[in-house]
Amino acid sequence: MRDLAELTNPFLALWTLTFVAFVPGFMNAFLATSLLLDRRPPRRTPLSYPGVTILIAAYNEEAGLAATLESIANLNYVGEVEALVLNDGSKDRTVETFHSARKSLQLPENIDVRLLDFEQNRGKAAVLNDGLAAARHDLVCTIDGDSRLRSDSLKEIVERYLSDPPGTMAVAGAVLVRNSRASLVTAAQEWDYFHGISAVKRMQSMYHGTLVAQGAFSLYRKSALEAVGGWPESVGEDIVMTWAMLAKGYRIGYAEDAIVFTDAPASFRQFYQQRKRWSRGLIEALQRHKSLLFKPRLSTLFVWWNMLFLPLDLTFTFIFIPGLLAAALGYYWIAGPLTLLLLPLAVVWNGVIFRIQRRMFASKGLKVRRNVAGLLFYVLVYAIVMQPVCLWGYVSELTGRRKTWGTK
């Protein structure tokens, strides 16, 4: 810090060390320690399973919808299941694909699949709210139109909901990448979903505040959704709705072993649009639910944690990444040979996360596939690419730029 202050000024030196070293170091240490201390109660088997309505928002999903419906037909859930496909004015053959797939499905007596066809494209939040109004059951589950549920996933997420503490109104499932072999971008995302996102959600749920019950696979109590007005019209409808639940004092859980496989963006452009949208959703949630910053509960820590992402991404984009380039030219102002001494520590905390996730995989009869190229890209390049993208998402939302979904 002293050397950097002499090259620049004391404030910039303190800022740089804070957001390049101190804050990330705290976050990683807190994450690894929390996961090592995780002793959540086991899922319990109820005497009877409640009915569940599954909402599937579908816009131009002809490529994956049939497989999604087949995964629903193969569920081993013994309670009643109502699956509503919500066609949001698709321009492709989504409707035709639904009818064709519906005819070929061998549905158990307790599972019903229907289509709600909306001719005009109004956005994901609008069709989800229409589906919520039409839902027959008190528990509502959402999945994407390109997602594949494992046969026991619905049973496990319901059991987690029933086993969690009182006040739990939603449970996020574990979303993993199905199309990891499609490109190097999806190969890297396989590690991000399996290793990074899952670990953070597991940690947050320990403190009773999973911050995103993602639309790709989550379970909600219908009355809680209605109490917060359903899904809001926004680019980050799932995070904004989740924070509305937290503002009501509800608890959001996480079912780390209730797995759905989804198709991740295969091109860099699609990935860029998705992560920019997620970043905009975070700003939307902060703007609409500022009161969470001062709510006396454990999850408040993670709301402030998310507040730090903007200065973190700003610092990495404009200071640390240029510092790496400078180090390559022999100017060790920000990074240098001693920076490599952090690698053993990074191996330790990433090893903790990997061991926990691999143990969960083994319990499900799954194996972590060899994905060396994706791992190297994830470790060496992923953050350098993602942080400028996230920063642009924050700036886009704060400056009021036009909102688009951008991944279709």
How far, CA to CA in Å, does 334 sit from each of 25, 27, 69? 16, 20, 52
Closest-CA residue to 258 (of 197, 192, 198): 198
φ, ψ of residue 83 to 5 degrees: the values are: -110, 120
Q: What is the pLDDT of residues 186-208, one digit of tens each?
A: 999 999 999 999 999 999 999 98
Distance from the Cα of residue 108 to its chain's centroid: 31
Give the per-residue pLDDT at 94.
94
Return left, alpha or beta for 208; rule: phi > 0 is left, psi -120 to 50 is alpha, else beta. Answer: left
Q: What is the pLDDT of residues 376-396, one digit of tens each?
A: 999 888 988 899 999 999 999
Closest-CA residue to 265 (of 389, 380, 379, 178): 178
Please check whether the domain covering 52-292 is classified as CATH 3.40.640.10.
no
Examine the pLDDT at 327 and tell me if it is beyond 80.
Answer: yes
Examine the pLDDT at 374 and tell me if it is beyond 80.
Answer: yes
Closest-CA residue to 146 (of 121, 107, 111, 177): 177
User: Mean pLDDT lowest for which of 90-94, 140-144, 349-353?
Assistant: 349-353
Examine the pLDDT at 359 and tell me if it is beyond 80.
Answer: yes
How far, CA to CA in Å, does 52 sit from each of 23, 210, 220, 227, 301? 41, 21, 10, 18, 32
Give the per-residue pLDDT at 157.
98
Give the per-residue pLDDT at 347.
86
The H or E element containing residue 168 is strand 168-177
- 179 neighbors 147 (Cβ within 8 angstroms): no
Q: What is the rounded CA–CA span in Å between residue 49 and residue 51?
A: 7
- 242 neighbors 211 (Cβ within 8 angstroms): yes
Give the per-residue pLDDT at 406.
56
> DSSP for 71-128?
HHHT----S-EEEEEEEES-SSSHHHHHHHHHHH----TTEEEEEEEESS---HHHHH
Give the per-residue pLDDT at 221.
98
- 161 neighbors 41 (Cβ within 8 angstroms): no
Q: What is the pLDDT of residues 99-139, one digit of tens each?
A: 999 999 999 999 999 999 999 999 999 999 999 999 999 99
- 55 neighbors 128 (Cβ within 8 angstroms): yes
Residue 401, helix vs strand vs coil = coil
How far, CA to CA in Å, does 199 sit from each of 32, 174, 363, 390, 404? 9, 10, 17, 20, 29
pLDDT-derived band at 401, boundaries 50, 70, 90: confident
Q: Which residues contact 53 (CB under 8 A, 6 or more apart)?
A: 81, 82, 83, 84, 131, 135, 136, 137, 139, 140, 141, 222
For tokens 């995780």, the residue is 38
The DSSP secondary-structure symbol of 204 reads: H
Q: Which residues contact 393 (CB under 8 A, 6 or more apart)?
A: 275, 276, 277, 278, 279, 280, 283
pLDDT-derived band at 405, boundaries 50, 70, 90: low
Q: What is the pLDDT of residues 201-243, one digit of tens each?
A: 999 999 988 999 999 999 999 999 999 999 999 999 999 999 9
Closest-CA residue to 113 (of 162, 157, 158, 149): 149
pLDDT-derived band at 407, boundaries 50, 70, 90: low
Q: pLDDT over 70 for what percent of the chain?
A: 99
What is the total residue count of the chain?
Answer: 408
Mean pLDDT score of the chain: 93
- 317 neighbors 388 (Cβ within 8 angstroms): yes
Give the per-residue pLDDT at 35.
93
pLDDT-derived band at 277, boundaries 50, 70, 90: very high
Residue 173, helix vs strand vs coil = strand
φ, ψ of residue 233 to 5 degrees: the values are: -75, 105
Examine the pLDDT at 403 and tell me if it is beyond 80.
Answer: no
